[in-house]
Structure 1
Amino acid sequence: MPTRAFTRKPIGYLLTVAALVCASQSAFVPAQSAAAATSQFKGVNWADTRDNYNTGWVIPDGLAASDSYSQVYSVADKYIKAFQSNLGANTVRLPINPPSVSQSWWSAYRGAIDAALADGMKVVISAWTEKTSVGTVTDMTAWKAMWSTVVGAYGGNGDVYFEPLNEPYGYSLSQWVSVCSTWLSQFSSVPRGRVVISGTGYNDNITGVGASSALNGTLLSLHYYGYWNSYTKESSWVSDLKGRIGGYTGRTIIDEFGAPMTTGTNYLANHDNGQFQSYLAAVTDTARSDGMGSVYWPALRTGDSYSLQAHSGSGLSNTNTSGVTQVRWGWGY
């Protein structure tokens, strides 16, 4: 998301966590077999509390720079199982950047990926730039080396997906297609169906990359947020959203979307009389009806009012029952 989560969202949201657990929530339901589109992705982002934009290591909430591989694995296993049982997720999107992969953190951080895979999750590995003010790859050599390491480790695993760069807003369409083509050429052993190409801008439009023959066969990543407009009617959001997707629903994963979850908002009401209620309804209804996968931002990020999960004792709990229900609706539940 452009300047992630709480940094560009209105700051007046209350941050008290309503630790609600939906008694009627069913336990994790195994993913349905792949549909004609991307509906097999029922996902969440697990994010760094500071932000995934970092000049140093990206360290998702609950992990620590001093953790060993086994410690990371243990924490990740606990959280992934919570994402499955509390939400019904079968996909997790994890951030990387060059320092996180080229330095010692990588040997420990791999525990998070490995735990998710062992728990039966799909994993989307996405590269972030090191600053929010830079929407391009600043060190191409380091970026390529990072991906060589990651693809070398997980290229052979069919449950791992690779997103070359999150929110490439510093590039024109032609420049971005060129960068992606270079990636696809360098890592041609990775099936294109496991490469997720970000839309232009802040991943906010995929019509350009979708039309590019150089990117044929890849999946496409769209980001969409409710503070980008002030509509209060679901139909207005749907029209805007569909315009950003065009005819590429069959390849599109909405791999960032989210709304305030710690403010007590009822997301099962006011779909035609509330900004964020109508927005979330539009995203989830469109994803469900058009068979698109979606990956909520974020499942867990302490201090982010959009977080679906909060620390509760030694585990995690839902922050907004109605929000979870609406997100699950988008996943086809």
Structure 2
Amino acid sequence: MLACATAFGGALTTPAAAAPKPPPVSDFHGVNWADPRDNYADDAVVPSGLSTSDSYATVYAKSKAIIRGFDKLGANTVRLPVNPTSVNGPFWKSYKGAIDAATAQGFKVILGYWEADNAKDGRIDDQASYDTMWSRITSAYGRNSRVYFEPMNEPFGYTSQEWRDVAADWVTSHRSVPRDRIVIGGVKYSEDVKPVCADPRLNGTRLALHNYGFWHTDWTSYDQWKQDFEERIGDCASRTILDEFGATMTSGLDYDGPVNGSSEVAYIQAATDTIRELGMGSVYWPGLRSGDTYSLTTLQGTGTRLSLRLNNESGLNRLHWAWNQDGGTGKR
């Protein structure tokens, strides 16, 4: 606090600057950057384009190029996977280059824990290594206001009560992390945020919702999908980030056009309308994952000279609509 002398010999204090207000969830315009094998990995999870043999400088340079590609899409957020092998092992020193490159370009980064593929039971694989992982992550990025922490992706192995207990324990164990930088997944496949939203122990945290069109391929009605989204969200939209949703982007589907019996078109139109109307955050799955037909982009180039090629213009238009950006198109 600064002080200056007055004409009467006293001191006049100037109040310290207020802490920046946390962004609303509607400011999360994001994409997932995922491992080509999916983020369920027995070994280190490695997003497309990176390698465990890369140095920190190489990861940083590659990530800078890829994040620049996401920025051109209109994104300002990237969701990255972590697991104990990635963080507790030698790759962490290099992997931090991806986080650092993203935050240096003004991106928000959501770090989410994925369990190993050889377990994949929807529960934390090993509590001790999990705790060590989060301790290392929060020690490195707890003071970086652009980094957010998602304790677990899709905790489907827990009952609602069990998962809320696990999440509450995480919040208590990391009480130095501001609650608005903690993203708690909904119950089961992060498919319903209402129980988490209602738990007072988790007040102030963000919520992560997942919803996919392949869960109900027989639904070709826009209204049916719209109702489904709204039922999963309840009155918790102001805290909710839809941090996984996606559909086929490599088959030429026109997401700007009429549904014409396509469950995927109906789903994407309902999802993006819901995001916009309710002021939610959203992180598309995936912005980049090599070999994934849902991937919004394809990685091009070699070495650190990388770029992204858009796979579906209408899919991006729908994201721009959800994000309230110029060029987006609403329901047709």
TM-score strictly above 0.5: yes
The aligned residue for residue 125 of structure 1 is 111
The aligned residue for residue 10 of structure 2 is none
Report SS of the residue matched to 2:230. Answer: helix
> Within 5 Å, which residues of 2 pair with 1:315-326?
315-326=307-318
Maintained 8 Å contact 1:37/1:249: no
The aligned residue for residue 185 of structure 1 is 172
The aligned residue for residue 92 of structure 1 is 78
> Within 5 Å, which residues of 2 pair with 1:180-329?
180-229=167-216, 230-271=218-259, 273-313=261-301, 314-329=306-321
Report SS of the residue matched to 2:213. Answer: coil
* Pairwise CA RMSD: 1.5
The aligned residue for residue 53 of structure 1 is 40
CA distance in 2, matches of 1:265, 1:310: 17
Post-superposition CA distance 1:102-121 (Å, at most 9, x none): 00000000000000000110
Report SS of the residue matched to 1:93. Answer: strand
**What one-letter code is carried by the residue in structure 2 that aligns with 1:324?**
L
CA distance in 2, matches of 1:295, 1:55: 25
The aligned residue for residue 166 of structure 1 is 153
Maintained 8 Å contact 2:22/2:180: no
CA distance in 2, matches of 1:81, 1:73: 12
**Most deviating of 311-320 and 321-330:** 311-320
Maintained 8 Å contact 2:272/2:322: yes
**What one-letter code is carried by the residue in structure 2 that aligns with 1:150?**
I
Cα distance, 1:36 vs. partner?
8.5
Report SS of the residue matched to 2:81. Answer: strand
**What one-letter code is carried by the residue in structure 2 that aligns with 1:322?**
S
Cα distance, 1:271 vs. partner?
3.5
Query: Structure 1 34/89 Cα, relative in aligned 2: closer, same or farther at 3 Å?
Result: farther
Q: TM-score, normalised by structure 2?
A: 0.88
Cα distance, 1:311 vs. partner?
2.1
CA distance in 1, matches of 2:64, 2:299: 15
CA distance in 2, matches of 1:35, 1:269: 36
Post-superposition CA distance 1:134-186 (Å, at most 9, x none): 20012111111100000000000111100000000000111111111111111
Report SS of the residue matched to 1:190. Answer: coil
Query: Structure 1 143/35 Cα, relative in aligned 2: closer, same or farther at 3 Å?
Result: closer
CA distance in 2, matches of 1:151, 1:50: 26
Query: Structure 1 98/226 Cα, relative in aligned 2: closer, same or farther at 3 Å?
Result: same
Out of 151, 172, 182, which is 2:138 matched to? 151
Maintained 8 Å contact 2:40/2:120: no
**What one-letter code is carried by the residue in structure 2 that aligns with 1:94?**
L
**What one-letter code is carried by the residue in structure 1 that aligns with 2:262?**
G
Query: Structure 1 272/217 Cα, relative in aligned 2: closer, same or farther at 3 Å?
Result: farther
Cα distance, 1:232 vs. partner?
1.1
Report SS of the residue matched to 1:115. Answer: helix
Report SS of the residue matched to 2:214. Answer: coil
Report SS of the residue matched to 1:62. Answer: coil
Post-superposition CA distance 1:82-129 (Å, at most 9, x none): 0101x1000000000001000000000000000000011000000001
Q: What percentage of aligned pairs have identical amino acids? A: 46
CA distance in 2, matches of 1:262, 1:247: 34
Structure 1 segments unaligned to the other structure (5+ residues)? 1-32
Following superposition, which runs of at least 4 residues in structure 1 exceed 4 angstroms of deviation? 33-37
Query: Structure 1 155/90 Cα, relative in aligned 2: closer, same or farther at 3 Å?
Result: same
Structure 2 segments unaligned to the other structure (5+ residues)? 1-19, 326-332
Cα distance, 1:34 vs. partner?
8.0
The aligned residue for residue 69 of structure 2 is 82
**Most deviating of 269-278 and 160-169:** 269-278
Cα distance, 1:270 vs. partner?
2.1
Maintained 8 Å contact 1:36/1:250: no
The aligned residue for residue 110 of structure 1 is 96
The aligned residue for residue 17 of structure 1 is none
Query: Structure 1 76/193 Cα, relative in aligned 2: closer, same or farther at 3 Å?
Result: same
Q: TM-score, normalised by structure 1?
A: 0.88
Query: Structure 1 272/238 Cα, relative in aligned 2: closer, same or farther at 3 Å?
Result: farther
CA distance in 2, matches of 1:35, 1:114: 20
Cα distance, 1:37 vs. partner?
4.7
Report SS of the residue matched to 1:271. Answer: coil
Larger radius of gyration: 2
Post-superposition CA distance 1:233-256 (Å, at most 9, x none): 211101011111111001000000
**What one-letter code is carried by the residue in structure 1 that aligns with 2:314?**
S
Cα distance, 1:35 vs. partner?
9.6
